[in-house]
């Protein structure tokens, strides 16, 4: 361009050419970025959709999965049951019966004796029997009589 414009005012021509080249470069660059962004989004969408695509289930594959699943569940149940049984047996080994406690610790046996020595409190059973409330029964009968008489 400079060789073609020798002897003329070439600053304007060179700047116009440079401007056109830069504009083309910027447009190409923007197009590349837009394309790269579209590719990235498309790949993300494909990856997201791939999560929902699994192996196709056939009768044979389902039965195999079911068998493995039931085996795992039964093994877990056996493990938890065996742990529970072991813990119970261990607790039984370390837990003393009431008789063994009294035989080993004389203070327990003596503690009951102190209550007996202080004096026993007699309990009047009649206090705990249900008493009929005659007044409330009479009030109920009077209300029933009023209802019957108003109905007549």
Q: Is residue 9 part of a domain?
A: yes
Distances (CA, A) of 137 to 57, 74, 126, 141, 151: 75, 63, 21, 6, 21
Q: Is residue 46 part of a domain?
A: yes
Q: Is residue 61 part of a domain?
A: no
Q: Is residue 23 part of a domain?
A: yes
pLDDT of residue 52: 84
User: Mean per-residue pLDDT for 18-23?
Assistant: 94
Residue 100 in tokens: 């063994």
Say if residue 129's pLDDT is above 60: yes
User: What's the CA gap between 13 and 34, in Å, rounded?
Assistant: 32
- Residue span of the structural domain in which 28 resides: 1-54
User: What's the CA gap between 75 and 68, in Å, rounded?
Assistant: 11
Q: Is residue 89 part of a domain?
A: no
Q: Is residue 92 part of a domain?
A: no
Number of structural domains found in the chain:
1
pTM over cut 0.85:
no
Say if residue 134's pLDDT is above 50: no
Angle, alpha carbons 135-141-143 (nearest 5°): 105
Query: Tell me: the pLDDT tens digits for 26-75?
Result: 999 999 999 999 999 999 999 998 888 877 889 999 999 999 999 999 99
User: What's the CA gap between 40 and 96, in Å, rounded?
Assistant: 71
Q: Which DSSP state fits 127?
A: G
pLDDT of residue 114: 63
Among 4-8, 12-16, 19-23, which is the least confidently predicted range?
4-8
């Amino acid at each position: 361009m400079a060789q073609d414009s020798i002897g003329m005012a070439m600053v304007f021509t060179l700047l116009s050419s440079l401007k056109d080249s830069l504009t083309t470069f910027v447009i190409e660059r923007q197009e590349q970025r837009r394309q790269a962004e579209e590719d990235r989004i498309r790949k993300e969408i494909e990856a997201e959709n791939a999560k929902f695509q699994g192996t196709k289930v056939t009768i044979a594959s389902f039965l195999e999965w079911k068998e493995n699943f039931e085996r795992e569940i039964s093994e877990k149940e056996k493990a938890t049951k065996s742990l529970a049984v072991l813990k119970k047996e261990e607790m039984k080994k370390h837990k003393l019966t009431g008789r063994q406690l009294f035989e080993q610790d004389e203070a327990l046996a003596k503690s009951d004796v102190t209550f007996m020595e202080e004096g026993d409190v007699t309990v009047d059973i009649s206090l705990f029997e249900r008493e009929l409330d005659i007044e409330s029964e009479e009030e109920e009968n009077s209300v029933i009589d009023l209802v019957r008489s108003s109905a007549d």
